[in-house]
Amino acid sequence: MWPWQFTTCRKIKKIGSFDLEHIQGINKYLYLAKIEVDLLQPSTNQSITLQGCAVKIDLKEKIRVVILSSDQSLVNLNKLAQIYLSHWPNLEEGFQDFSRRVEVFTYTDSTQNFFSTEILV
């Protein structure tokens, strides 16, 4: 989740202090803090609580990304960050990839068809 997402439908329940952690696999040091977020579905007035970690590159900057999970076995912040960052080690790349997927879904959803490499010439 990026800071601008779901602003009207989320409530930050808790956020811990940021600690510098070495993320193996990508060999970077990042500041991680435990976070707990309630996401509300307005149409049904139901919410879900997700836990995870907030990520900063520098203590003086704003939060770059919040990595949330409904899997309670992923309470180790370093492991959760490691799993996410093994797919998107560059924090900006994760947002770009997400945006591309939303765009593709927007174009294909109305037709109920998906792009196929078989139809390409």
- Predicted confidence (pLDDT) per residue in 5-23, tens digit: 666 777 888 899 999 999 9
pTM of the predicted protein model: 0.69
Residue 49 near residue 37 (C-beta atoms within 8 A): yes
What is the SS3 assignment for 34? Answer: strand
Mean pLDDT of the chain, nearest integer: 78
Query: What is the token pair recorded at 42?
Result: 């307005």
pLDDT, tens digit (0-9, with 9 covering 90-100), for 31-44: 999 999 888 887 88
Q: Are 52 and 21 contacting, i.e. CB atoms less than 8 angstroms apart?
A: no
For residue 82, is pLDDT > 60? yes
pLDDT value for 91: 73
**Residue 81 pLDDT > 80:** yes
